[in-house]
Structure 1
């Protein structure tokens, strides 16, 4: 049983050794270990705070990127709308110009038809007048073969001219 129960001398020397090791550790090792632990703790806290700052910055950047993306989309929509309006305006202007041009061409065609009609009527009148003169000339030649009939026609014509 002596093996299981320690002796008083063993306990004494173990206590003195323990106190000596405790004194030496507290004198030489405890301060550097505690300093290293404090430095480690502060570096971990700094790393955590920097990670939190980085997280906040990332959220701010993400919000900024989303804002820029929304602005870019709005700008794209505005440009597309302006382009659509411009194309509609150009189409309407082209339609209006084509309508005006067709109206002008129709008016010119009507005027040309009217001018051609007038020219044809004038030509028909001239032709009718020429034919009437030729017919009258032929009739007068037949009726006025003798001199007395010619004298009678001239005197009748003179009476009509003085009356008008």
Structure 2
């Protein structure tokens, strides 16, 4: 696993979101963490720089009743939360959005394959922090990790 690195947190304007930036290889990347956001309290992600054609966010959305976590990709994760909530009885909440290309989603699916329930839904072990683990996995990917 990738080594933990210190990171800076800057409190967002609304919703308690925090933007986290860490250096990885020769580039910087952006993570938005939503500590309590549900579809009714979602805030709009404001990228620090405009998104490129293939860029968006790998998001982590949690089903609050059982703790399952969906790892998906969208250009607008808050809108995706609303779409998923429409077809879901339990409340869903957006845990984090990691800026990156669509292929990052597949790399995280591979990284967490032992936790996969079905499709894009994963179950993290008791005591595991899905956001922290996703940030560590993303750092490893950006530093050159490739699936076997």
Task: Specify the TM-score bucket, using the shorter chain as the normaliser.
Answer: under 0.3
More helix by share: 1
TM-score (norm 1): 0.14
With CA pairs under 8 Å and 6+ residues apart, which has the higher RCO, 1 or 2? 2
TM-score, normalised by the number of residues in structure 2:
0.15
Give 1 or 2: higher strand fraction: 2
